């Protein structure tokens, strides 16, 4: 198997270590890589703010290389304690405040390196939406515009959307005569059929504690298979990057990424210990400060961050109507940039061209 992976890795069609430039931002103990690829003659840089927390920008290279990189520079930033990030710092320095400060400095570093006339846009996905929103509220905005996909700004809306997802598609399955895929046992409860799932959702709205949240997460598999099979298309991404190339012939290392992800999970995203900064929070009170052009490109059938979140995000920011747009990708779940890559790329280019 290793030999097979290595053989595939030798087919370096994407040249992940040959094209582009690698910059590192050293800040408060972290050495964060920013791989810059694409069209260096462009006056636009698209900064990737990856998910997680603790994920990696590497997974997004295939999302942007076919259509966006030929047109703009794309900066793939790995946040502190994530992806290929290196450094040496205390665990107390892994905070969303410091990560938002990092984001500001990455934007400034890109302008310092490539010219202050460059227009920097950001693309935030999943946790990247939460971090970008926090940045826009708490740091001076130096972005020209931002594209956000399937991430949250308020756990109240996130849980409400997830309850709707489970309840609505469970009802749809009942109406079609489709049974629950398997019995679900969680937190002392047993769900043997979909009507029990629907009844629990009705009785538990709103979600108020970790116990209810755990049950809700565990109920998602009751409907997710049906939803994905019925509504979500196979990715239309023109060319994927193989795991073997990412593992063996790229700036990234899967062991580093895994250790960074696990450590970040334990420190700031720990659901089991009920200490996650991604649960039971609300950025809404500060979101009136957001006035820059915003594109909300959302996979409709997302079991993680549902459509209600995008609708609320659109409403609560102060960006004028003509400078914000909300588009649902009707054949996608959590990652429309991957599933509907062609249309997603067209929308990104259209948004950047309008507001650059």
Partner 1 sequence: MMYLVLLPSNGLFMQNRFIKPVLFLFTLMGFKPLVAQDYSIPKLQTSVGYFGEFITHPGVKLGMSYTIKQKSKNKKSGKQINKGWLTGANITFYRHKFNHKALMFTGYIGRQRISNAGFLTQLNFETGYMASFLDGEVYEWNGHTFEKGNKGSSHAIFGFNGSIGWDFGKRTSLPATLAIVPHLYIQAPFNSTVLLRTALAIQVTYKLK
The two tokens of residue 95 are: 């905070």
Cβ-proximal residues to 72 (8 Å cutoff; 6+ apart), any chain = 38, 39, 42, 44, 45, 46, 352
Q: Which is nearer to partner 1, 22 or 342 (CB)?
A: 22
CB of 349 to partner 1, least distance (A): 27
Cβ closest to partner 1, residue 102 vs residue 212: 102
- What are the residue ranges of helices labelled H in 115-251? 127-138, 155-176, 194-203, 210-219, 221-231, 243-248
Least spacing, CB of residue 250 vs partner 1, in Å: 8
CB-based contact 166:222 (threshold 8 Å): yes
Q: How far is the CB of 87 from partner 1 (least distance, A)?
A: 6
Q: Toward partner 1, which CB reaches closer, 118 or 153?
A: 118
Which residues are at the interface with partner 1 (CB under 8 A)?
2, 6, 9, 17, 20-27, 30-31, 33, 35, 80-81, 84-91, 93-94, 105, 108-109, 112-113, 247-253, 255-256, 259-260, 263, 267
Distance (Å, whole) CA 142 – CA 121: 9
Nearer to partner 1, 116 or 209 (CB): 116
Report, in Å, the least distance between residue 91 CB and partner 1.
4
Of 117 and 175, the one with the shorter C-beta distance to partner 1 is: 117
Minimum distance from CB of 24 to partner 1 (Å)?
5
Please choose, from the candidates 306, 292, 20, 295, the residue with its C-alpha nearest in 3D space to the C-alpha of residue 157.
Answer: 306
> What are the angstrom distances between the C-alpha of 85 and each of 26, 194, 199?
10, 44, 45
By beta-carbon proximity to partner 1, the closer residue of 58 and 173 is 58
> Which residues 6+ apart lie within 8 Å of 351 measured at CB?
145, 147, 293, 295, 325
| Beta strand 30-38 pairing with 21-27 | antiparallel
d(CA 266, CA 81) in angstroms, rounded, equals 11
When the beta carbons of 252 and 329 are compared against partner 1, the nearer one is 252
Least separation in angstroms between CB 232 and partner 1? 34
Residue (47 or 267) nearer to partner 1, CB = 267
- Cα separation, 18 vs 151, in Å, equals 32
In the bound complex, what is the minimum distance in angstroms from residue 64's beta carbon to partner 1?
17
Q: How far is the CB of 264 from partner 1 (least distance, A)?
A: 9
Question: Checking DSSP bridges between strand 324-329 and strand 294-299, what pairing results, if any?
Answer: parallel
**Element containing residue 308 per DSSP (H, E):** helix 307-316
């Amino acid at each position: 198997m290793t030999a097979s992976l290595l053989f595939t890795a030798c087919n370096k069609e994407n040249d992940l270590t040959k094209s582009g430039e690698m910059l590192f931002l050293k800040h408060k103990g972290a050495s964060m890589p920013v791989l810059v690829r694409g069209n260096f003659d462009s006056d636009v840089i698209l900064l990737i703010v990856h998910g997680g927390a603790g994920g990696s920008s590497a997974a997004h290279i295939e999302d942007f290389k076919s259509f966006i990189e030929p047109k703009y520079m794309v900066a793939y930033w790995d946040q502190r304690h994530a992806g290929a990030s290196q450094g040496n710092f205390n665990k107390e320095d892994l905070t969303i405040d410091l990560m938002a400060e990092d984001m500001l400095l990455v934007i400034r570093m890109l302008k310092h390196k490539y010219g202050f006339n460059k227009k920097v846009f950001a693309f935030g996905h999943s946790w990247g939406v939460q971090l970008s929103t926090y940045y826009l509220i708490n740091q001076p905005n130096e972005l020209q515009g931002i594209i956000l996909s399937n991430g949250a700004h308020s756990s109240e809306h996130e849980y409400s959307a997830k309850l709707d997802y489970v309840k609505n598609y469970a009802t749809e399955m009942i109406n079609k005569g489709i049974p629950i895929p398997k019995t679900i046992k969680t937190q002392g409860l047993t769900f043997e059929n979909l009507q029990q799932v629907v009844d629990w959702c009705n009785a538990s709205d709103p979600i108020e504690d970790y116990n209810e949240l755990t049950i809700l997460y565990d109920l998602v598999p009751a409907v997710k298979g049906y939803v994905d099979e019925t509504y979500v298309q196979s990715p239309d991404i023109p060319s994927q990057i193989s795991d073997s190339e990412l593992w063996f012939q790229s700036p990234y290392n899967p062991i580093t990424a895994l250790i960074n992800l696990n450590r970040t999970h334990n420190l700031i995203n720990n659901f089991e210990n009920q200490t996650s900064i991604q649960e039971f929070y609300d950025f809404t009170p500060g979101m009136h400060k957001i006035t820059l052009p915003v594109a909300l490109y959302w996979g409709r059938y997302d079991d993680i961050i549902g459509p209600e979140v995008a609708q609320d995000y659109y409403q609560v920011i102060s960006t004028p109507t003509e400078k914000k747009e909300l588009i649902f990708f009707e054949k996608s779940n959590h990652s429309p940039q991957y599933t509907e890559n062609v249309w997603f790329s067209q929308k990104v280019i259209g948004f950047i061209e309008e507001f650059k």
